[in-house]
Structure 1
Amino acid sequence: MTDLLDPRNDFVFKRIFGSEENKDVLLAFLNRTFTESGEPPLTEIILLNPYTDKDAPLDKQSIFDIWAKTTEGKLINVEMQLFNKYDIEKRTLYYWSKRYSSQLQEGQTYKELKKCVTINILNYSFIANDRYHNVYHLREDHTGIELTDEIEVHFLELSKLDDQSVPVEGGLINWLLFLKGSDKSNWEVLKMNEPTLKKAMDTLEFLSQDREARRLYEKRQKYLHDEASMIEWATEKGMAEGMAKGMAEGMEKGEHKKALEIAKNMLSLGIEVSVIAKASGLSESEVESLKPIH
């Protein structure tokens, strides 16, 4: 039997959730995400960058995220992050702001701006709590009063899910367990809880058996692994260099402190400042500053 492709691979993720024929799959996933955060469900979405056969992970700059818009104009961006690229919060705000500001055409007023929602699905832990779904808005620190509803950021952390725990009812967790690669023996339960998941599962099985899709998947997977390795190497190298620099500075500070103590002792013995400066390596002004004030 052919091994299933990893639905967390962003190329595969977009094939499952970001095509016109699977728009109902994306809508069901979004509704579970929004319902869990206390928002009303959507009735319709428009894909702004649907997957087509022209999309292929051959270009290293390819980004397989999903852009959608509601009938009211609210913009939604969904992105899968298989590996930790670091500074995810800054990256999120940067792309959110570009998306938000790009709505205005010349001559339009700020009133034309619509709400932008970012949904980051992470295959690693980022937020220091046990919640797999965290939602952020812009609120006043003390009163909790919302400044505006225009910004909304979701973090869905797959690493915080218990692989052995199979839900007994419908909800977002069923979708996230599927994405994490839940054992196929659990698929029947997940489908019973979330019927639209069947279409997502069928798409994944089809892709897994398609030779060209597998070739493109493996090419994308290799790029993602290479990119993660480079980031890890650069991070470790930076940490090592930082530690070495810190140790050198610490030794330098320690030597300077020792020189100051020696100079103080020599001053107490009545030795001339110029002699102390030569012996300690300090400047004459530094030695002068060590003299007690009478």
Structure 2
Amino acid sequence: MGSEGLLERYINPYTDFGFKKLFGTDMNKDLLISFLNALLHGEQSIKDITYLNTEHLGTQEIDRRAVFDVYCENEQGEKFLVEIQKGEQQFFKDRSLFYSTFPIREQAVKGKSWDYELKAIYTIGILNFTFDDKDNYYHHEVKLLDTRTKEVFYDKLTFIYLEMPKFNKSELELETMFDKWMFVLRNLSGLMERPAALQERVFERLFKAAEIAGFSKRELYEYEDSLKVFRDWYSVVKTAEKKGHVKGYEEGEKKGFKEGEKKKQQEIARNLKTMGLSPDAIIKATGLSSGEIEEI
């Protein structure tokens, strides 16, 4: 199996392998630093990051396990949890909040007195779906807010969500580094060469790292496996969505739309189990619990 069987020149960043190769390795951490700085719009300037363990267990044996795509901290000890989300989940926001509790609890000082001071937490979701079609606003920054004064109540917990399908700027419309990073993430696998608007050195590094022809034989096999899972998963989800929307509407007439939406997620999980995906991957894709998946 070789790269000649692939039509694309550059890696698909929505695959697990592609995302982690570009943003989850020490070799390419300058790419992640540039992306985070562009995302924060000058709020701070990250000079360096340290990658942290992406697999986390709760404080007790019975607690759920969490596996992050990319998890790191900057020089000040602030934590960045970066997730690529290929498809919509019924309880995506709940999952996002649940994941943020791990880097919070990890900061507890054990064995001596502690005043509960915390370092900032940033949970970043790069979404290959949209929350709704109400507008074209694709960059959401969420903090704890006082509902009366509309002022930020606590500024150390930030959720940033990027609705990638809503970003439709052309190459000629790219003005900021944030625009350029959004363009790359949205279009990378469909490009045949580096666009003229992306002449910064960091993008030269990115396109070199993303070029499939430069992969080792092992990387190529891993990428093709990851790409196959992504394509199969995408096909299953789209098919289940078509069936689920009809079923969801019918159930909505009788028992409420929420139950219909759950049936859609169960249908997706059933197909993913047939494909042989691991329970963790199915949980991540559907938002269902391990118990619910076992019963399917």
Percent identity between the two aligned chains: 27
Give the drift of 1:11: 1.6
Q: 1:190 to 1:8 in 2, by over 3 A?
A: farther
Aligned Cα root-mean-square deviation (Å): 3.1
Q: TM-score, normalised by structure 2?
A: 0.68
SS of the counterpart of 2:44? coil
Among candidates 124, 133, 137, match of residue 129 of structure 2 = 124
Shift of 1:24: 1.3
Kindly indicate whether residue 85 of structure 2 is the aligned counterpart of residue 81 of structure 1: yes
Q: Does 1:135 align with 2:135?
A: no
Aligned partners of 1:167 and 1:13: how far apart in 2? 25
> Could you tell me how far apart the structure 1 residues matched to 2:102 and 2:121 are?
10
Provide closer, same or farther for how the CA distance between residues 209 and 72 of structure 1 changes in structure 2, counting only shifts above 3 A.
Answer: closer
Contact preservation (8 Å) 1:208, 1:214: no
For 1:67, the equivalent position in structure 2 comes to 71
The 5 A counterparts of 1:132-171 are: 132-162=138-168, 164-171=170-177
Corresponding residue for residue 184 of structure 1:
191
Q: Secondary structure at the match of 2:116?
A: helix
Matched, 1:94 2:98: yes
* 1:39 aligned to which of 40, 43, 48: 43
Moved more, 70-79 or 128-137: 128-137
| Distance in 1, Cα, partners of 2:102 & 2:68 | 17
Please state whether the residue corresponding to 2:172 is helix, strand or coil: coil
In the alignment, is residue 109 of structure 1 matched against residue 114 of structure 2?
yes
- 2:262 aligns with none
Contact kept? 2:212, 2:220, Cα under 8 Å: no
Contact 2:140/2:162 (8 A) holds in 1: yes
**Which residue is equivalent to 1:273?**
none
**Offset at 1:167?**
3.8
Matched, 1:8 2:52: no
Cα-to-partner distance string for 1:195-250 (whole Å, 9 max, x where unaligned): 21111110011566433222212222333344455556666666655555565679
Asked if the contact 1:84/1:228 (under 8 Å) is kept, the reply is no
Distance of aligned partners of 1:71 and 1:209 in 2 relative to their CA distance in 1, 3 Å threshold: closer
Return the index of the structure with the highest Cα Rg: 1
Residue type of the alignment partner of 2:26? E
- Write the letter of the residue equivalent to 2:147: D
Q: CA deviation at 1:14?
A: 1.0
Partner of 2:219: 213
Cα deviation 1:42-82 (Å, max 9, x = unaligned):
122111148xxxxxxxxxx9956111101111100111112
Partner of 2:267: none
The separation in 1 between residues aligned to 2:172 and 2:217, in whole angstroms, is: 32
Given residue 191 of structure 1, which amino acid in structure 2 is its aligned partner? L
Aligned to 2:281: none
**Contact in 1 for aligned 2:123/2:160 (Cα 8 Å):** yes
SS class of match (1:196) = helix
- Shifted more, 61-70 versus 77-86: the winner is 61-70
Structure 1 residue runs without a partner (length 5+):
51-60, 251-294
1: CA distance between counterparts of 2:252 and 2:184?
A: 45
* CA distance, structure 2, for counterparts of residue 238 and residue 110 of structure 1: 49
Q: Which runs of 5+ in 2 are unaligned?
A: 55-64, 257-296
Tell me which amino acid in the other structure corresponds to 1:69: E
Matched residues in 2 for 1:202 and 1:138: separation? 40
Q: Indicate the residue corresponding to 2:27 in structure 1.
A: 21
- Helix, strand or coil for the counterpart of 1:166? helix
Q: Aligned with 1:217: secondary structure?
A: helix
- Is the 1:10–1:82 Cα contact (8 Å) retained in structure 2? no
User: Partners in 1 of 2:48 and 2:124 — Cα distance?
Assistant: 18
Task: Count the aligned residue pairs.
Answer: 237
Which has the higher mean CA deviation after the structures are superposed, 161-170 or 126-135? Answer: 161-170
